[in-house]
């Protein structure tokens, strides 16, 4: 039974890493599930404090993943039009994989700013802010999943 749980845990960690890039898969929660599967084996027992702190990190990363692109556009001078455009662009980008995921927040913010009466330069600046926010969120998700993979390997060795 332990071998099956370990194999499921490995699959979860691989899917979690994949989910950092593909928005259809919530990467960090799936990778966390991999650690939980490992925890239920007889080979490894994580402490309650570890499991709860990792769960808190997963929740924080998931919330930030949705908020950071909008904050990026907001702090680069975006108006409400640009922030809403960022949200719409992020959702629409899911349907145009893989480039839609990267360009969706940027184009949404850019077009939203232009529709709100903003100048092209400001719209471009806001779009780049949302793109940088998206990229930052992706890096944080990847770092979280890589950390979970490290903990998995460390626990088994």
| Res 22 pLDDT > 80 | no
| Res 55 pLDDT > 90 | yes
pLDDT in tens, 93-115: 878 877 787 788 888 888 988 88
Nearest to 94 by CA among 105, 84, 83: 105
Residues 10-27: what's their mean pLDDT? 88
Q: Indicate the range of 24-28, 35-39, 52-56 predicted with least confidence.
A: 24-28
Top mean pLDDT of 22-26, 55-59, 78-82, 122-126 is at 55-59
User: Rounded to an integer, what distance in angstroms lies between the CA atom of residue 148 and that of residue 133?
Assistant: 23
User: Rounded to an integer, what distance in angstroms lies between the CA atom of residue 28 and that of residue 113?
Assistant: 32
Using the structure block, give the residue that is written with the tokens 């913010």.
Answer: 109
* Residue 119 DSSP code: -
User: Rounded to an integer, what distance in angstroms lies between the CA atom of residue 69 and that of residue 103?
Assistant: 12
For residue 97, the model assigns a pLDDT of 75
| Res 23 pLDDT > 80 | no
DSSP labels for 55-110? HHHHHHHHHHHHHHHHHHHHHTT--HHHHHHHHHHHHHHTTSTTHHHHHHHHHHHH
- Per the structure block, which two tokens stand in for 138? 């992706």
- Per the structure block, which two tokens stand in for 25? 């898969």
């Amino acid at each position: 039974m332990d071998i099956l749980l370990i194999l499921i845990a490995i699959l979860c960690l691989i899917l979690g890493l994949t989910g950092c890039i593909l928005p259809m898969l919530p990467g960090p929660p799936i990778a966390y599930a991999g650690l939980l599967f490992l925890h239920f084996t007889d080979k490894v027992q994580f402490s309650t404090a570890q499991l709860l702190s990792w769960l808190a990190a997963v929740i924080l990363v998931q919330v930030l993943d949705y908020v950071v692109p909008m904050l990026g556009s907001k702090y680069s001078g975006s108006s409400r039009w640009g922030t809403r455009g960022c949200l719409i662009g992020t959702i629409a980008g899911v349907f145009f994989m893989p480039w839609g995921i990267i360009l969706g927040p940027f184009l949404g913010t850019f077009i939203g700013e232009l529709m709100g009466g903003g100048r092209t330069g400001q719209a471009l600046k806001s779009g780049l802010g949302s793109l940088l926010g998206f990229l930052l969120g992706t890096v944080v998700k990847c770092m979280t999943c890589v950390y979970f993979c490290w903990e998995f390997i460390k626990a088994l060795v």
